[in-house]
Amino acid sequence: FVMTQSPESLAVSLGERASINCKSSQSVLYRTNKKNHLAWYQQKPGQPPKLLIYWASTRESGVPDRFSGSGSETDFNLTISSLQAEDVAVYYCQQYYSTPSYTFGQGTKVEIK
């Protein structure tokens, strides 16, 4: 499994939309449960990653609704609808379809323009 994120970095004005793409080399759609085994994490400097989205589009409890996930099989997106200063971070996608290697994407750095 290879997870490829784009862009590597992006700068967005406060209040504007930020979108990150994640492509998987193989489908992460598990036919048995009809779920995409794809998660998104946010990591700020000096902190552990924080789970934002799982099953490709389910927001983790407590995550602001400006964060949303979409996509299926091999092509996924994380969207921040209105960028806030506290959203500056590196964002990673991760497939959890193929154990034991739950591969991460290389990360996308989001900054304020």
Site residues, other proteins (CB under 8 A):
37, 39, 41, 43, 48-51, 54, 60, 90, 92, 94, 96, 99-107
- Least Å distance between CB 35 and other proteins? 9
User: Which of 35, 66 has the CB closer to other proteins?
Assistant: 35
User: Which of 39, 82 has the CB closer to other proteins?
Assistant: 39
- Least Å distance between CB 54 and other proteins? 5
For the chain, the C-alpha Rg in angstroms (whole number) is 13
> How far is Cα 3 from Cα 104, in angstroms, rounded to an integer?
6
Nearest to 41 by CA among 97, 95, 113: 95
> How far is Cα 82 from Cα 94, in angstroms, rounded to an integer?
23
